[in-house]
């Protein structure tokens, strides 16, 4: 299993020094990848429902306007590290023009010597779409699907040519190609039926988050049932279902106490080190190849870089070492 952690690009931890310190610490501890989320502008008032909290409220809304751009941040981190892979978690696909985004992704992959992982999603915050002058919120799923096809055309064809409802290009030379062949691995997120269809059709890795109240994936067997749907979708479009890998994202704040779901069950990856090690073993049994943890703390205002580094070290020494051994 490959282990990753979230880097901050919002709040007081997202300084130049903080990012370098966390990235280097994670790499030295043997984490396999690190991830950065995606917001470009933060609306002052958000009424859109956030998919991953029970209340529907977006955490960290107090940091109005405070966000480092995702791809720029990953390019910076690439220059400060040498081994760990770099994940867009996720890139909101419709926010950027397809050709420009494809070029930036290819550039980072080349300059990082093939370390980029491309997590792609359709987005959820209508206010951010509007703030950026985009009228594609209602069609964001279709835009995302088309962008993925366009990316693959740019990254693999010697004479890229694409004509769709949202993306069209021809008569272009697209060089250099990404270092990874045929292209950087594409991770798609989401737990809805549409997201599972997208993963089956396009993804190298399906990348759900376990705490979506509408599709809560707190039990490994339920996660596996959703992954089976992804594989069924892949088979229906003529892909090899076994070519798709499984990732899983969860928060971990090293509280050493168990949380419970609304049904009274223990929340996965909470509790003692032994309980969490057992959880990871079960995730591994159902096919999880990549586990991403958030070590930043739920309240970014009260968290520090030092505390995040301590959580990272505890996870590495007390949990990853047990899983490996």
Question: pLDDT tens digits, the chain, 325 residues: what are they?
Answer: 999 999 999 888 899 999 999 999 999 999 999 999 999 998 889 999 999 888 998 886 666 568 999 999 999 999 999 999 999 999 999 999 999 999 999 999 999 999 999 999 999 999 999 999 999 999 999 999 999 999 999 999 999 999 999 999 999 999 999 999 999 999 999 999 999 999 999 999 999 998 888 988 989 999 999 999 999 999 999 999 999 999 999 887 677 777 777 777 888 898 899 999 999 999 999 999 999 999 886 666 667 888 899 999 999 999 999 888 7
What pLDDT is attached to residue 224? 97
Check which CATH number belongs to the domain holding 104 and give it: 3.20.20.30
Question: Coil, helix or strand for 101?
Answer: helix
CA atoms in the 13 A half-sphere facing the CB of 48: 19
Q: How far apart are CA 161 and CA 251, in angstroms?
A: 41
Could you tell me whether strands 162-163 and 168-169 are parallel, antiparallel, or unpaired per DSSP bridges? antiparallel
Q: What is the CA radius of gyration of the chain?
A: 19
At 257 the pLDDT is 73
Question: 156, exposed or middle or buried, with CB in 10 Å at 0-12, 13-18, 19+?
Answer: middle
Closest alpha carbon to 34 in 67, 78, 69: 78
Q: What is the pLDDT of residue 302?
A: 62
Q: What number of other Cβ atoms are within 10 A of residue 87's Cβ?
A: 31
Compute the distance between CA of residue 267 and CA of residue 259 in angstroms, rounded to an integer: 5
Query: What pLDDT is stored for residue 81 in this prediction?
Result: 98
Q: Where are the beta strands (DSSP E) in the chain?
A: 2-6, 33-36, 85-92, 116-121, 162-163, 168-169, 186-189, 205-207, 245-251, 288-294
Position 92 scores a pLDDT of 98
Q: What is the pLDDT of residue 259?
A: 79
Partners of 87 in the β-ladder: 35, 117
Provide the β-strand partners of residue 187.
119, 205
Residue/partner pairs of 275-278 with CB below 8 Å, 24 or more apart: 276/252, 276/319, 277/319, 277/322, 277/323
302-325 burial: b if 16+ Cβ within 10 Å, else e? ebebebbbebbbebbeebbeebee
Supply the pTM of this predicted model: 0.94
Quick check: 114 and 141 in contact, CB under 8 A?
Answer: no
By CB neighbour count within 10 A (0-12 exposed, 13-18 middle, 19+ buried), where does 131 fall? middle
Q: Return phi, psi of residue 87, to 5°.
A: -110, 130
Q: By residue range, what is the domain housing residue 14?
A: 2-324
Q: What is the pLDDT of residue 301?
A: 62
Degrees to nearest 5, angle at CA 248 with 22 and 214: 120
Q: Could you tell me the CA-to-CA distances from 315 to 14, 53, 285, 324 in Å, in that order?
A: 21, 24, 20, 12
- Angle between helices 98-111 and 70-80 in degrees, nearest 10: 10
**For residues 205, 25, 309 and 185, what is the CA-based torsion angle, rounded to 10 degrees?**
-10
> What pLDDT was estimated at residue 295?
86
| pLDDT the model gives residue 265 | 80
How many domains are contained in the chain?
1
The two tokens of residue 62 are: 């107090």
Beta strands in 63-142 (DSSP E): 85-92, 116-121
């Amino acid at each position: 299993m490959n282990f990753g952690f979230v880097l901050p690009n919002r709040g007081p931890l997202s300084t130049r020094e903080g990012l370098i310190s966390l990235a280097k610490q994670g790499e030295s501890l043997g984490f396999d990848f690190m991830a950065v989320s995606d917001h470009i502008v933060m609306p002052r008032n958000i009424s859109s429902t956030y998919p991953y909290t029970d209340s529907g409220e977006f955490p960290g809304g107090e940091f109005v306007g405070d966000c480092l751009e995702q791809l720029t941040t990953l390019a910076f981190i690439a220059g400060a590290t040498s081994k760990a892979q770099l994940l867009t978690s996720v890139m909101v696909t419709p926010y950027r023009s397809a050709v420009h985004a494809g070029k930036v992704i290819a550039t980072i992959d080349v300059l990082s010597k093939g370390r980029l992982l491309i997590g792609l999603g359709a987005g959820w915050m209508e206010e951010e779409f509007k703030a950026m002058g985009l009228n594609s919120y209602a069609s964001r799923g279709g835009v995302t699907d088309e962008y993925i096809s366009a990316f693959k055309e740019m990254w693999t064809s010697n004479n890229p040519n694409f004509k769709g409802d949202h993306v069209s290009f021809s008569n272009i030379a697209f060089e250099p190609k990404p270092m990874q062949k045929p292209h950087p691995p594409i991770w798609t997120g989401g737990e809805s039926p549409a997201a599972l269809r997208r993963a089956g059709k396009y993804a190298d890795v399906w990348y759900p988050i376990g705490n979506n109240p509408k599709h809560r994936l707190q039990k490994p067997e339920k996660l596996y049932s959703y992954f089976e749907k992804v594989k069924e979708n892949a088979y229906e479009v003529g892909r090899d279902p076994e070519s798709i890998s499984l990732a899983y994202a969860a928060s971990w704040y090293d509280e050493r106490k168990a949380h419970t779901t609304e049904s009274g069950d223990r929340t996965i990856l909470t509790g003692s080190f032994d309980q969490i090690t057992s959880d990871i073993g079960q995730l591994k049994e159902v096919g999880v190849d990549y586990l991403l943890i958030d070590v930043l703390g739920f309240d970014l205002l009260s968290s520090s870089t030092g505390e995040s580094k301590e959580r990272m070290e505890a996870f590495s020494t007390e949990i990853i070492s047990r899983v490996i051994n």
